[in-house]
């Protein structure tokens, strides 16, 4: 038997691996080329290996069986990790990623109501209008920097959908968010001149701005039909008396957990398909077959089956999130190795998405692997995990597919685009996948 828990495991050996120097551990190697580092470690030590990073003991989990063990044992042996010392200070005590058990499930249920199923129909026209306005802007330039433009687009989109805020990328909000991110992994001292100090100052300004919107909506008793509106309605129906700060925290939660991932997915989509013109041709054919008189709805987008296959292939080859962090809550074992309580865990998503036993010729871009005959992602449970899996699976998955589908199909309707020649199109996978260098693209009317 592979897995066991409790006292038995304390007599077992720790997984193989190199802990490196006492405090720095393997930091330098990891930062130099994290992707190579993870692959090397997998080849050398196998599915579980120990290491030390930023003064903490870690176990890396790689490959199908090892990651399935982590994802299916949430709340039993594993919980969220508190490795980012400043996380709670910046994002608040209520962040979904640092809740566990019932509290975590309840939060998921409430947030899911705002970004899943029927509520998504409310957002379609906003996504479409904003996409079209960005395309018009891009067509006015010879070349645009792909990632930074898409990143502005996703910021504008998410804030419009969450709280009805227009053009956030041109406002102070953009700077507040940058400060908050740079305060995450830094010395935990909050002075006006430290990164954490600046992060907390920006956090307060951002929260104050969101709270004002929440107070106004409550006072006018007009909740609105955006994410905040749905959340306020749901919480009123459930008799949940949350403070404006708590609601603002939930908004920041959704904003911080999905936006960079969307930027990543959209830019990787354009980069990977730029090398596969046959795929773009098939996407256009699928579009032409759709009934243009039919109103835009979730159901209509569900008919774009080939587009969905291409998105899946992009997320398989360039998963926006490189992996997930956890902490061990109880001694357990995996394949004869001890997994000690208190250690941190990192599961590396690409090690499953690149597994040749699941995905034939995994290095090749081939959306047909997801058609109904091949269905490589359905070979076994938890073998397609760009959105994680188990109790902490991404709740923004359906929303993300919808945004990508609307953006790409509107782009196909309105524009032709061409990448400047001889550019390095490498995508860095850590911590969130994005182009390694600026990439220039020329958009013209179709």
Contacting residues toward ligand HEM, per CB under 6 A: 96-97, 108, 111, 115, 254, 257-258, 261-262, 265, 315, 320-321, 324, 386-388, 392, 394-396, 399-400
Residue 95 CB, nearest approach to ligand HEM (Å)? 9
Closest CB to ligand HEM among residues 41, 404? 404
Closest CB to ligand HEM among residues 252, 283? 252
CA distance 63 to 352: 5
Closest CB to ligand HEM among residues 196, 377? 377
Residue 404 CB, nearest approach to ligand HEM (Å)? 7
**Within 10 A of 51 (CB to CB), how many other CB atoms are there?**
24
Please answer whether residues 327 and 82 qualify as being in contact, where contact means their C-beta atoms are separated by less than 8 angstroms.
yes
Structure-token match 């685009």, residue found: 417
Closest CB to ligand HEM among residues 165, 196? 165
Burial of 409 (0-12, 13-18, 19+ CB in 10 A): buried
Residue positions counted in the chain:
446
Residue 255 CB, nearest approach to ligand HEM (Å)? 8
Closest CB to ligand HEM among residues 92, 324? 324
Which residue, among 99, 48, 45, has the nearest Cα to 75 in the 3D structure?
A: 99
Residue 387 CB, nearest approach to ligand HEM (Å)? 5
User: Dihedral (C-alpha) 267, 273, 275, 281: value to the nearest 10 degrees?
Assistant: -150
Residue 422 CB, nearest approach to ligand HEM (Å)? 29
Please tell me whether residue 442 adopts helix, strand or coil conformation.
strand
Closest CB to ligand HEM among residues 183, 258? 258
Q: Which residues contact 147 (CB under 8 A, 6 or more apart)?
A: 263, 267, 434, 435, 438, 439
Please answer whether residues 70 and 326 qualify as being in contact, where contact means their C-beta atoms are separated by less than 8 angstroms.
yes
Residue 94 CB, nearest approach to ligand HEM (Å)? 12
């Amino acid at each position: 038997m592979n897995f066991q828990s409790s006292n038995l495991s304390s007599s077992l050996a720790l997984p193989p691996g190199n802990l490196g120097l006492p405090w720095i551990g393997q930091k330098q190697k990891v930062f130099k080329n994290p992707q190579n580092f993870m692959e090397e470690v997998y080849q050398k030590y196998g599915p579980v290996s120990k290491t030390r990073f930023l003064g903490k003991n870690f176990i890396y989990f790689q490959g199908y069986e090892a990651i399935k063990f982590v994802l299916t044992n949430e709340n039993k042996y594993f919980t969220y990790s508190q490795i980012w010392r400043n996380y709670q200070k910046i994002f608040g005590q209520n962040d979904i990623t640092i809740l566990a058990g019932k509290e975590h499930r309840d939060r998921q249920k409430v947030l899911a109501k705002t970004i899943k199923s029927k509520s998504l129909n409310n957002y379609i026209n906003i996504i479409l209008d904003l996409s079209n306005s960005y395309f018009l802007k891009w067509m006015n330039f010879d070349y645009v920097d792909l990632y930074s433009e898409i990143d502005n687009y996703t910021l504008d989109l998410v804030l419009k959908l969450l709280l009805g805020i227009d053009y956030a990328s041109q406002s102070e909000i953009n700077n507040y968010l940058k400060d908050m991110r740079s305060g995450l992994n830094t010395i935990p001292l909050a002075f006006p001149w430290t990164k954490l100090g600046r992060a907390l100052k920006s956090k307060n300004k951002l929260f104050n701005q969101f709270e004002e919107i929440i107070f106004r909506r409550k006072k006018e008793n007009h909740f609105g039909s955006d994410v905040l509106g749905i959340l306020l309605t749901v919480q009123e129906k459930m008799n949940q008396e949350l403070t404006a700060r708590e609601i603002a925290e939930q908004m920041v939660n959704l904003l911080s957990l999905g936006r960079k991932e969307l930027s990543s997915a959209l830019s990787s989509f354009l980069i990977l398909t730029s090398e596969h013109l046959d795929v773009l041709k098939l996407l256009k054919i699928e579009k032409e077959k759709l009934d243009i008189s039919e109103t835009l709805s979730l159901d209509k987008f569900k008919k774009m089956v080939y587009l969905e296959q291409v998105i899946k292939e992009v997320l398989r080859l360039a998963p926006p999130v490189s992996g997930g962090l956890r902490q061990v809550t109880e001694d357990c074992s995996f394949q004869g190795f001890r997994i000690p309580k208190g250690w941190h865990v990192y599961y590396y998503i690409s090690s499953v998405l690149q597994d040749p036993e699941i995905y034939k010729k995994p290095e090749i871009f081939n959306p047909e692997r997801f058609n109904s005959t091949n269905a490589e992602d359905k070979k076994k449970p938890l073998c397609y995990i760009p959105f994680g899996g188990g109790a902490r699976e991404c709740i923004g998955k359906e929303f993300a597919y919808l945004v990508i589908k609307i953006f790409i199909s509107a782009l196909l309707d309105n524009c032709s685009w061409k990448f400047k020649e001889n550019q390095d199109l490498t995508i860095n996978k850590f911590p969130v996948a994005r182009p390694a260098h600026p990439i220039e693209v020329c958009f013209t009317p179709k």
